[in-house]
């Protein structure tokens, strides 16, 4: 029977103990809090989540932290203190989900691993995110997003053919692993609803990126090594036109497969290219991509601006898009219409612009107004509500350094 109020969000009533920092773990709980979960963010004294000092920072407040941690309650403790660990174990018995992305062994040393917490609450769901996962030869190895990009093969596939491997200048492994963990937690909650049993979810950033190899791994392995994935730089080496091309003003992305090739040839004003022996198939176009690039870019230069090129491609239903800078995305009408440019209030920074929530639910078209916490802001409220601590005990914990809070 559903006892939730009519306006409750999808995860209303789910309580989360959040041992996360930086990006991968906070991505999970950011999704959960947007959907109505109660999230208690455990921060390590004295500075809390290191992302509190990542740019943009003004007046000691980080817009990065605000973006990832709106709506969460901050409980700041000295994790090296045995009394703090005991307090956290007690809190874990009061929640539905625990999420953590500390280095391997950090929570284990404090008796806060899944093996410890599930003994007191078998229905507990716990998700652990790490660079290399909790099994395998590299299970104990620490790492960040960059290590995952390197080890997964992503860096090897990124960059110019004759240059060094490169990396994506976004937290792609962090965010990808966080979103994977979010989906896994949702499935585990459904499983618990049916069976009453909790479970431990092990998510590796490397795995999340390796899973994105839609072509390279299977093609190499199943061809016996005949197909060798190579860096292609700004253009795909195996077919074309597939890549980034110079337009009259900037750069334009094109992806033309065999099915779109006749339409592309029509757009170029050269329908005969379809039967040209150099370009009849995708592999042939890949082998002759230098000449194909010359043809495409020469055609693009006949237009007054990039918009005219894109309009011509659109008329022929050829998949294309301008290469936008970050500055061009902020305020773009499409992102505005999709609510992907989000302006949120913050008590210190004022209005903060952040990327919007990427999931759109017909039952919940409006997103909640959430505020990022000050360090240790909810120490007393959390301990009072969940553990029935009185003010004297809370004050004693603060005086002895078990609890910590930013100066008011």
Q: Which pLDDT value is given to residue 407?
A: 86
Distance CA 190, CA 169 (A): 35
Distance CA 61, CA 80 (A): 26
Secondary structure letter of residue 228 according to DSSP: -
Cα angle value 68/74/78 (rounded, 5°): 115
Confidence of residue 8 (pLDDT cuts 50, 70, 90): confident
Confidence (pTM)? 0.94
Could you give the C-alpha distances from 244 to 233, 236, 388, 391, in angstroms and in order? 9, 9, 60, 62
Map residue 75 onto helix, strand or coil: strand
* Residue 174 falls in the annotated catalytic set: yes
Which pair of tokens denotes residue 273? 């290219």
Place of tokens 């409980």: 75
Could you give the C-alpha distances from 126 to 15, 165, 230, 343, 391, in angstroms and in order? 12, 35, 38, 32, 30
Smallest Cα–Cα separation from 228: which of 239, 217, 236?
217
CB count within 10 Å of CB 195 equals: 10
Question: Residues 49, 174, 207, 306: which is the catalytic one?
Answer: 174
Distance CA 162, CA 230 (A): 10
Q: Which pLDDT value is given to residue 5?
A: 60
Q: Is 233 in contact with 159 (CB distance < 8 Å)?
A: yes
Could you tell me the domains of the chain?
15-211+342-399 (3.40.50.10540), 242-327 (3.30.1540.10)
Distance CA 254, CA 306 (A): 13
Would you list the DSSP string of 300-312?
A: HTTSSSHHHHHHH
Q: Percent of the chain at pLDDT above 70?
A: 98
Angle at which helices 379-387 and 391-399 pack, to 10 degrees? 130
Secondary structure letter of residue 56 according to DSSP: S
- Answer whether residue 1 shows pLDDT above 50: no
Could you give the C-alpha distances from 103 to 6, 174, 184, 212, in angstroms and in order? 40, 14, 20, 24
The pLDDT tens digits of the residues spanning 18-36 come to 999 999 999 999 999 999 9
The pLDDT tens digits of the residues spanning 221-263 come to 999 999 999 899 999 988 999 999 999 999 999 999 999 999 9
Smallest Cα–Cα separation from 264: which of 322, 305, 303, 319?
319
The pLDDT tens digits of the residues spanning 315-360 come to 999 999 999 999 999 999 999 999 999 999 999 999 999 999 999 9
The pLDDT tens digits of the residues spanning 255-288 come to 999 999 999 999 999 999 999 999 999 999 999 9
Q: Which pLDDT value is given to residue 4?
A: 55
CA dihedral 267, 272, 278, 281 (to 10 degrees): 70
Q: Is 356 in contact with 341 (CB distance < 8 Å)?
A: yes
Q: Which pLDDT value is given to residue 7?
A: 65
Query: What rounded mean pLDDT belongs to the chain?
Result: 96
Rg (CA), the chain: 26
Place of tokens 């990808």: 176
Confidence of residue 118 (pLDDT cuts 50, 70, 90): very high
Q: Which pLDDT value is given to residue 2?
A: 43
């Amino acid at each position: 029977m559903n006892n939730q109020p009519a306006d409750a969000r999808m995860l209303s009533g789910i309580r989360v103990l959040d041992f996360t920092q930086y990006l991968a773990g906070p991505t999970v709980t950011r999704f959960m809090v947007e959907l109505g979960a109660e999230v208690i963010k455990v921060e390590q004294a004295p500075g809390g989540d290191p992302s509190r000092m990542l740019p943009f920072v003004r007046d000691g407040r980080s817009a990065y932290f605000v973006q990832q941690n709106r709506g969460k309650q901050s409980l700041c403790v000295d994790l090296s203190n045995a009394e703090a660990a005991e307090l956290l174990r007690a809190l874990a018995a009061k929640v539905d989900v625990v999420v953590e992305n500390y280095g391997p062994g950090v929570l284990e040393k404090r008796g806060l691993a899944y093996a410890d917490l599930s003994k007191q609450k078998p229905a507990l769901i716990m998700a652990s995110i790490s660079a290399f996962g909790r099994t395998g030869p590299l299970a104990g190895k620490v790492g960040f997003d960059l290590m995952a990009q390197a080890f997964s093969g992503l860096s090897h596939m990124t960059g110019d053919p004759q240059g060094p491997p490169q990396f994506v200048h976004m937290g792609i492994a962090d965010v990808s692993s966080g979103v994977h963990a979010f989906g896994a937690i949702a499935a585990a909650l459904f499983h618990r609803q049916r069976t009453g049993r909790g479970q431990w979810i092990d998510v590796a950033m490397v795995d999340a990126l390796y899973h994105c190899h839609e072509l390279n791994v299977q093609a190499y392995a199943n061809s016996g090594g005949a197909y060798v994935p190579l860096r292609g730089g700004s253009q795909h080496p195996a077919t074309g036109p597939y890549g980034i091309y110079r337009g009259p003003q900037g750069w334009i992305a094109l992806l033309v497969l065999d099915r779109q090739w006749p339409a592309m040839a029509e757009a170029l004003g050269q329908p005969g290219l379809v039967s040209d022996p150099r370009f009849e198939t995708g592999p042939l176009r890949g082998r002759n991509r230098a000449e194909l690039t010359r043809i495409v870019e020469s055609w693009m230069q006949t237009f007054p601006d990039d918009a005219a090129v894109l309009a011509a491609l659109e008329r022929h239903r050829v998949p294309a898009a301008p290469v936008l800078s970050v500055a061009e995305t902020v305020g773009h009408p499409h992102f505005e219409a999709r609510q992907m440019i989000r302006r949120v209030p913050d008590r210190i920074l004022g209005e903060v612009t952040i990327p919007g929530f990427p999931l759109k639910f017909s039952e919940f078209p409006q997103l909640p107004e959430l505020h990022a916490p000050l360090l240790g802001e909810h120490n007393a409220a959390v301990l009072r509500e969940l553990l029935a601590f009185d003010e004297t005990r809370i004050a004693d914990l603060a005086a002895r350094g078990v609890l910590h809070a930013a100066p008011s």
